[in-house]
Structure 1
Amino acid sequence: MNIKGYVLTLLLCCLTLDLVHLIQTSETNKLQDHQVHVDPILIQVLWTTHDYDLHTIPTLQVVANPLLARQFSPIYKQIFASLKQLNAEYARYAVWFPYPKLAVAELDPPSGLFQCGNVGE
């Protein structure tokens, strides 16, 4: 097949796909037009009825940052006192990568010989 045949085949495929897309789009538009002209759904809320009690538990996540560090922050005592007053049943202290020296405890200074050489010991 020569180049003209390839181009003609490509154009016919594109035209076929466009027609299929247009047909599907027109059917979708008809369905949407029908849904727009239908009466709206009415929702009635009864605030006086009580179905069941909610059992929500307050939780808290504290992310490590310099204001929580005892060594550097003049307000860390007030911060932890305020956190204690919240009475959260599940509190999680998240130490993560923005402050790696707060997150990773280095027992020995790095020697440069091994990378993660003492993991699991």
Structure 2
Amino acid sequence: MTLKTPLQCVELQFEAYNQRDLPRFLTAFADNVRSFRLPDMTLMIDGKAAYGEFYASQRFSHAGLRAELLNRMVIGNKVIDHELIHGLGPEPIETAVMFVVEEGLITTVFAIPAKSPL
């Protein structure tokens, strides 16, 4: 099996996210994936099973959910997306997401919201 490049890995999760295809979405992530919110390094999700539970109940349950890619950078094994997330509220949510990819799977995700959470 050929390992996915960091770009291929992130593209796969992005497409599956927009299709709300949870099984396919999860194939891009390592079992020990961890997600943090910056700048305070709050651990948001710990592990692939928790990822599945969160996205099934908190994201993919929204019929209008979709991510709009504004910009993407690849720097070594890191991919940084600038996105607008539609369908979670009345206005899109602007965010940046940095994915760290190791051995063909996303191991760490850093979410950088444009606005600080209340």
Normalising TM by the smaller chain, what interval? under 0.3
Structure richer in helix, relative to its length: 1
Larger radius of gyration: 1
- TM-score normalised according to structure 2 size: 0.20
**Higher share of residues assigned strand:** 2
TM-score scaled by structure 1?
Answer: 0.20
Report 1 or 2 for greater relative contact order, CA contacts < 8 Å, sequence distance ≥ 6.
2
